Amino acid sequence: MSPVYFCDRNLGKRFGQELRRQGLVVELHDDHFPQDTPDEDLLRHVAAQGWVILTLDKRMRYREAEKAAILRYNARVILLPLPKNPEKGWWLALATEFTQAQSKVLAFLKRNQPPFLARFRVHYHKTGARRYQLEKLPLWKA
C-alpha cells in the first residue's frame, strides 16, 4: 500500500499538487487546517491518520514542543532540502526527485517504525539508488 504524504504549509500548494500529478497520494495542509494551526496539533492529527509528513522545517527537531509531539503521537516526519539560493521552480525539481526516489523512501518507511524524523537528501553528482539518501535524525540537539 502506498503511503499518504502530508505536505506541510511551508511547502505551499504547488509542491503537493506536483507530487499528485506524478502519481503520489498527497494531502495538503490547507485542505485540513487553518494556516495558524500549531505544529503540535497538526502532528497529532496527521500522525493519527498514519500519514507521512513532508516539511522544510529543519528546526523542528530542536523545538521542545514539536519533538515531544513527534514522540508522543508516533509521527513520521521527512525533512526535505531547501536550496540555499532557490531558483524559480526549485519545488518542481524537488518534487520530481522525491517521486523518483520512491523505492528508497518506501524501503526506509518499511525499515523504520514511528516515531521518527528523517532527512531526505539528493546527491546530484550520483546516479541510480545512490543518488538519494534518507537518514534518521535524533530528536535532540547533538
pLDDT in tens, the chain (142 residues): 789 999 999 998 999 999 999 999 999 999 999 999 999 999 999 999 999 999 999 889 889 999 999 999 999 999 999 877 778 888 899 999 999 999 999 999 999 999 999 999 999 899 887 999 999 998 864 4
Residue with cell 537528501: 121
**N-term to C-term CA, the chain:** 35
> 126 has which bridge partners?
none
Architecture (CATH level 2) of domain 4-137:
3-Layer(aba) Sandwich (3.40)
- The reported pTM is 0.94
- Placement of cell 521518527 in the chain: 116
